[in-house]
A and B are shown apart, each in its own frame.
Chain A
Amino acid sequence: MKDNDVCIRPIRKQSHFIEYTLTFSVIIWFIILVMAPVYGILREVIRNGAGIFIDSISSPAAIHSFKLTFWITVTAIFINTIFGVMLALVFVKQDFRGKIFLEGLVDLPFAVSPVVAGFMFIMLFGPNGWLGSWFGSYNIKIIYALPGMVIATLFVTLPFVAREVMPVLAEYGIEQEEAAYILGASKWQTFWKVTLPSIKWGLVYGITLTFARSIGEFGAVLVVSGSIINKTQTATLHIHQQFTDFNYAGAFTASLILAVLSFSILIIMKCVYKRKEKGYRWA
């Protein structure tokens, strides 16, 4: 026993040194990159006093922009959760020609700059665009209106749920589902009772990412919305507008709210991971 202790100690010391250095650098890096900007916003808001904070956030334009962001986010999560799960199911369980090509296409929103994506939609849905003129003939406005903003957000958040669910589905394989069929479950029952619970954590994580991306989306939405105050201005566009109008207090308060939201998402994500790990142990 004694001998062992003697042997282990020097090694421990060494690894501690490396650990500390690593931890220290990570913390410094984290402070510079993440904490400082957050503190900056917070300080700015506090310096200007709570009055301005309340005023700037209760302006109709600000409230409208947050509402808009909220509804776009909810719609994007709803549609992309369903569509993302469907995509994952098709790609993992089905075999067809051109599958590899299509699978690559799912990642396109990651590769294309949001601004470029926005312009693609202008080309497509704009008044002179291919689909836009068709919609126009029915008096439906897509670009510079809510539908366009939702479509743009759907596009940029498309890969999240699909990409998170796919590996989980692939890992679970088909046997549990076959077992469910044989035990008399319908396809629908099998999906709800077997498939969905098994992809649950991938799905939750995908939705969290979709949420974060939706509330923060700027480029694509800016291009397709035209950023019309009280009409097509989302929270991020509102911040941008306040900033360019030298209304820093408004910009900072709105930013703080978004930052707090994002931070809550991070906390939620963390909890999800904790439970996921637990879930692996138990299931």
Chain B
Amino acid sequence: MTITEDRPADAPTPEIGKSRTRKEDQRLITGRTRWTDNIQLPGMLHLAMVRSPFAHATISAIDTSEAKGSSGVVAVFTGEDLKDIQGVNITAWPVSAEQKSPDHLPVAVSHVAHAGEIVAVVAARTAAEARDAAELVDVDYDELPAVLDLKEAAKDEVLAHPSLGTNTSATWQLDSAGQGSGGDIEEAIATAREGGILIEREYRQQRLIPAFMEPRSTVVDPTGEQVTMWSSTQVPHVLRFCIAATTGLPESKIRVIAPDVGGGFGGKLQTTPEEFATLAVARKLSKAVKYTETRSETMVSGHHGRDQWQKLTLAAEKDGRVTGLKVELMADLGAYAALVGGGVPVLGAWMFNSIYKFASYQFNLTNYYTNKTWVDAYRGAGRPEATYAIERLMDELAAEVGVDPLEIREKNWITHDEFPFTTVAGMTYDSGNYEAATAKAKELFGYDELRAEQKQRRESNDPVQLGIGISTFTEMCGLAPSRILGALNYGAGGWESASIRMLATGTVEVITGVSPHGQGHETAWSQIVADKLGVPFENVEVLHGDTQIAPKGMDTYGSRSLVVGAEAVVRAADKVIEKAKVVAAHLLEASVDDIEFSAGTFGVKGTDKGISMPEVALATWTGHNLPDGMEPSIDADATFDPDNFSFPHGTHLCAMEVDTETGASTMRKYVCVDDIGNIINPLIVEGQVHGGLVQGIAQALWEGAEYDDQGTLVTGSFVDYTLPTSADTISFITDHTYSPSTYNSLGTKGVGEAGCIASTPAVVNAIVDAVRSFGVNDILMPCTPERVWKAIQKGRSVPGEGERDAQPHFDEGVPNQDPGAAAEGSQA
């Protein structure tokens, strides 16, 4: 379904809804384009970073003399040398007023808090010479004890930053009774303990590494009136702000350009030490400099994602009707509070209750520092973690009640006639239809047939067992209403900006404040503007990612570009039409009230007189014959601040085959029916869904960042950090239902993160479902064959042991501890 309007019979078919191939692809795929590392400036120097091999140490001395004498070296700087101008990497989201945030200096001066932190920078004539000299910088470290494990960090025995006196960064709570959006959680738990069902689980969200294809790269040219920085970033506008806020450079003296950027997934939603160090060196030397990281550097220095322990208590009635949910979250921020950092887990606060009608809810978060790489947004940021927890719990509840997991969901979800619906967490979901998406998904999946096969395999003791995993997810995206961000203590707004310039020769320039890095905005925005202004798709040029061209913007993350950024474009287009109508009326000698605009032509009602949009643009440009007093311009700007998030949802069904002899899991079938409202370009949407699915599946099966006891990243290359390739995935079946958003005129909802949010629990639910009959009810992610096999062995030898080992139950004396839960949870 697409936007439909009444159109004359001879009007061109609408662009919106067409599966157009992307106009930016030719240059991107051939590489004949401006990746930051492709940029060459006259006399440009190259940088190499010297990084700490230790997770925690003080720096006692740095000897740069040998490096300075090395061939081609121009300068070597330590943190001490740069400290007056290097600025600081700030967090934009202190989640509470009391949050403790250690200073994060781009180049460390006296203390390093994770392995990979920069301690010196070499500038040389070539990248090779810089690298050679970096090996010669002699740094004396005094090693300090490192805290690496999240639960160890909570004990405050070893401190990641001794000067803070604690590893706790901040705590944050959402309580439905307290804020008046629901009942008291402790009452719900007490009632369930008496005569209902209590599901207590602890789940682990392992640490992930955003593996964008293009390594990060920064070029700085300090030789003009403005300092220009090109950087492989998702957030050029935020970066400019942070530079101005911390380096002493006036904002008006800084131009940031995000040229073509090869992927981000949240990994480039950051202002990095490397960017700040590159800027500082360029200013010191008054020369253009470039820094491009190696993949090994990305792994230790680019921020990581996820990393939480989730302690969960779900209360329900005996029949499976949910009554309460309590979430106790521990989140590992790594060594520093990153740009969004501590706020990422907060974004999950409204999503643990998901599509279900809980009467009471409480979310408790504590953020901790450890001596590991910093953690920040990674595709989904906060919502995948929440979705995983609730979708795993709903399966556990179904097992406890002894019904099909789809049935337990249906019993508890918001029905389509209840929208708009205000949840127990206090969010108002505007639209959705969980029944429709689920019905469609079941049919595409062949749900009943697969259940029958599962039964048959179980009965025949087939060494390959079949499991079916369900994820009926929703998420909140389209960041974000500025007022809500303000209430949450976030440092910026969530509006977006657009401008439209009507050129004299009939083509159109669209300036957008979002900053695409692979999403295809140029194509989608062109489709929207072509329909709005009635100009050919090819005649629309979309400009972005340069603070000089697109001076205002909040950039791209949180599935916000279409629902916030393109809505600003629509509003600018509406203004263009309104202004152009006045010119058209004047030229057609008619009253403005009699002018109708359709398919690119301004006509006079009831006549066949008309004038095209390009004709109006040309007439405006010449200015020869405009209404008296009219400003000779039909260009327009718009800034849009949404009133609410958008709430995509969908039903994902996954069938996994588990080889019980080896523990290997193989995907058999994956169906998803996503409801993302109206769709501008189905091809782009399918790409987003596929990529998202694979990233979410990868969390379930393959990826996980692991450190050794020294704080060295063991999964420091793609040999050990096992990213999947297309050879590891199957063909997905994707489809849609359509419940338009009511908060933007296009009726769209975000799709950038949906697949990644939904798929992880679908896969793990399927694996657990396949082996539940062995007494297993949880397996840590990634569900490696070894973990699956061991869970089966434990479950087999002592019924109920499988899950106990894989997923520890709550300790004695800890709140919510239910002595009966272990026994209850061990159902077959």
Co-complex (A, B) = no
Query: Which residues of chain B have a CB within 8 Å of any CB of chain A?
Result: none
A residues engaging B (CB < 8 A)? none
